[in-house]
Amino acid sequence: MTTKMEFAVDMTCQNCVKKVEESLGKLKGIQGVDVSLERGTVVVQTHLPYSEVQETIEKSGKRAVLKGYGDGSVSAVSMVGGTSGFGINKAIQGVVRFVQTPNVCIIDGTVDGLSPGAHGIHVHECGDISAGCDTVGEHFNPYNAAHGGPDDDITRRHVGDLGNIVADNSGRARFRLQDKVLSVDDIIGRSLVITQDFDDLGKGDSSKSKVDGNSGRRLACGIIARSSGVFENTKKICACDGKTLWDERDDALQKVHGNKL
């Protein structure tokens, strides 16, 4: 399942356009690219994670910021950990995006600062992170089912059961999931949680298996909020602090690098 994503790219001339096009042309998994110097945007049709596409654009030497995700679809985003969400370790932070398609919900994210290996990922019922991840409630479970995995039938899983993400040796988990049960309309205002251990998908021997997959402590979480689709975000300067989107991008990168020191 492919998705459209729109990036603001810091381009000043046709040579910039050429460099971006050449960089994306080397990336397998791109179905379409539309580079507009006039708008300062790059629209990509792909099944790849957005972070991989953004990194490829920036390899051309041009700064890039994701502006819109999903073409004419309901989209949402969760800023997990960091300064926007909550995490027991400041190094754990990431962005997870949701977009609704006619058949599935696509979950596309990158989370840094995790221990290598598998970690459970779940939508929880509440969007209250006033006391961290302890106040987000239990897994989103409107049908009162036992805990299961994303491949299970709706009667054998929580709607919020998204399975596992896997962090590499650097602590980064980059993923793109498709879920047949989750609906973006139903999760806006709720929260997303990453756990310490892997989720056994309700198939373990522990009594906790049918509750939360025995996936352990809640490491990081963030509220799920409505986000912009392609061509829906026209912001160039923040009305709150007067920062340009490039200032915001550079500030965010500085915080990430600072947390790793």
> What's the confidence (pLDDT) of residue 233?
78
Answer yes or no: is pLDDT of 257 > 70: no
- CB count, 10 Å around CB of 126? 14
Two tokens at 71?
Answer: 């073409």
Report the alpha-carbon distance of residue 146 to residue 160 in Å, rounded. 11
Looking at the chain, the domain(s) classified CATH 2.60.40.200 span: 76-226
Q: What CATH homologous superfamily does 76-226 map to?
A: Superoxide dismutase, copper/zinc binding domain (2.60.40.200)
Alpha carbon of 162 to those of 28, 52, 114, 179, 190: distances in Å? Answer: 26, 21, 17, 7, 14
| Residues 35 and 94 sit within 8 Å (Cβ to Cβ) | no
Q: What pLDDT does residue 155 have?
A: 94
Report pLDDT for 260.
42
What is the per-residue pLDDT across 74-120, written as a single tens digit (0 to 9) for each?
Answer: 999 999 998 778 888 888 999 999 999 989 999 999 999 999 999 99
How do residues 136-190 score in pLDDT, each as one tens digit?
999 999 999 999 999 999 999 999 999 999 999 999 999 999 999 999 999 999 9
Residue 91, sorted as left (phi over 0), alpha (psi -120 to 50) or beta, turns out to be alpha
Q: What would be the CATH architecture of the domain defined by 3-69? A: 2-Layer Sandwich (3.30)
**Top-confidence residue, 245 or 156:** 156
Q: How many C-beta neighbours within 10 Å does residue 204 have?
A: 15
Torsion of CA 99, 118, 224, 100, to 10 degrees: 10
Could you give the angle at which helices 14-25 and 50-58 cross, rounded to 10 degrees? 130
> What does the pLDDT look like over 33-66, one tens digit per residue?
999 999 999 999 999 999 999 999 999 999 999 9
Give the C-alpha separation, 190 to 71, whole Å: 23
| Angle subtended at Cα 103 by Cα 188 and Cα 99, rounded to the nearest 5 degrees | 35
Answer for the pair 170, 200: CB distance below 8 angstroms, yes or no.
Answer: no
